[in-house]
A = this chain, B = another copy of it.
Amino acid sequence: MWEADAMSTALRYVGLDVGGTTMKAAVIDDEGIAAPAVSLPTEAHRGQEAGLERMCETIRAAVSAAGMTMDQITAIGVATPGIMDIAAGLIVDPPNLKPWKNVQVRGHIAEVFQKPTAFQNDANAAAFGEYWIGTGRDAHSMVLFTLGTGVGGGIIIGDQVIEGRHSHGGELGHMRIQLRGGRLCGCGRLGCLEAYASATAVVARAREEVATYTGSTKLKELLQSASGEEFSSRTIFDAAAHGDELAEKIVDDTAFYLAVGATNMMHSVDPDLILFGGGMIAAGESFLNRIRKHVHEIALPIPAERCEIRYASLGSDAGFIGAAACARQLIHRQRASSK
């Protein structure tokens, strides 16, 4: 439970998650207890100057919502999407924040608030949030796959976010899982995991399978009666839960593709724990069990047996919680090195 009146020397962080449609932030203390979160619209179309101003507004709103003032905040963490230069504190070319280009986020926030400021990719931050206080809290190493419109990822090994030398660490949606003739990904390449296992890909695969399926399936009906937006991956998972054979095949194939992604992480990073997060985990425990079953069939025996596979638990809060975790790490490292 959040307590605004705790002693004023306590460490407190603002975590800010900048998304394509909204920005979300909250004040979080050193133990991971969060004050109420706030959301403001991103409105990227208004340009990057307005975007930076909106980030500052959201941070201030989070501090107010915590019943605090800025001088009670130790550090700030910001998570953003798209292609970044994490070390430089830059958003380079974000597909979901057009027309922004080369936005100096970390420098701006640090300058406005005069606070130590951490900066991280949003999927990496979500993984670090889960690692700090989510399903990964007891893990030493962890890989997160985020299943939404795309497939995001984050890798944590022993307190370290594997952000990569070129800020492309954990771009797990673009792991190539098919040599040739693979499905076309949104990134323009062929055979990426995302082209098979994102929510968008599940819908696209269902449309294709319905078109050639000769048996009886509810999906055909649903697809014809629904407008574009209504026929979602949720529709397909629901139909599978009600025993529709084609829907079950599509869901099981999806679990298989994710098992291939998980297996490739088990045979490279070999973490304690692999997590799946994002909207698609609404599919529930039976979907997770399908992933586990396929992993048992395709991974080497020891990691197949011992690596835990679970769902993430922080939902859409993982991003700002992880951003705060990055700010916290910045402070703890500064303190450790100055001793």
Contact = CB atoms under 8 A, between A and B. Distances in A.
Interface of A: 83, 140-141, 153, 155, 157-158, 160, 162-172, 174-179, 187, 189-190, 196, 256-257, 260, 263-272, 298, 300, 302-303, 306-307
B177 A270 contact: no
Contact of A168 (B166, B170, B267): B267
A289 B264 CA distance: 26
A165 B267 contact: no
A92 to B, nearest CB: 8
Given A179-B260, A187-B300, A268 B172 contact: yes
Nearest to A306: B166
Given A141-B165, A178-B179, A179-B257, 10 more contacts: A140-B165, A164-B303, A167-B302, A169-B269, A170-B268, A171-B267, A171-B268, A174-B300, A176-B298, A268-B269
Given A153-B268, A272-B165, A177 B174 contact: no
Contacts of A303: 164, 166, 168
Contacts of A190: 298
A131 B194 CA distance: 32
B267 A174 contact: yes
